[in-house]
Amino acid sequence: MTFDILALNWWAILVATLSSFVLGGLWYGPLFGKRWLRALGKSEYDLTPSAIPFVIAFVTSFITCFAIAWLISLLGISTWQQGTLIGLIVGVAFIACSSISDGAFCRFSWALLSIQAVYRVLHCVVAGVILAVW
């Protein structure tokens, strides 16, 4: 098995990475923002503006999208259905399960775990579709 890192579609990886910010803006904004803050025990006024979380989110999203792109390349995936499936598998099996396990030990509420885990799964599904069809 050989893998050529330069053969990956880096534009697709970048777009998939940026899609996590669009999804996150909707998810943690108008869709679930108030519930998420309530589950954190915070208000909008408790959050101090900082670029650091966004930089960290970009880097981790990029790594996730790179890994999904690598799997898609390795498995020869090329349809949106296959991209959805690989995104769902990565999102649920690797990310959501780990997040929920960690959250259980940290005694996070199920509301918080659900909001965050479902976002992570959807991010992987969207990335899987973008990376499979591009």
Which tens digits make up the pLDDT trace of 77-119?
Answer: 999 999 999 999 999 999 999 999 999 999 999 999 999 999 9
**For residues 130 and 115, what is the distance between their CA atoms, to the nearest angstrom?**
23
DSSP helix/strand/coil, 43: coil
Residue 111 lies in a domain: yes
Residue 4 lies in a domain: no
The CA distances from residue 77 to 69, 132, 133, in Å, are 9, 6, 9
pTM equals 0.92
**Contact (CB, 8 A) for 40 and 112:** yes
Q: What is the pLDDT of residues 58-87, one digit of tens each?
A: 999 999 999 999 999 999 999 999 999 999
Domain that holds residue 107: 10-42+50-133
Residue 1 lies in a domain: no
φ/ψ (deg, to 5) at 19: -60, -30
Residue 2 lies in a domain: no
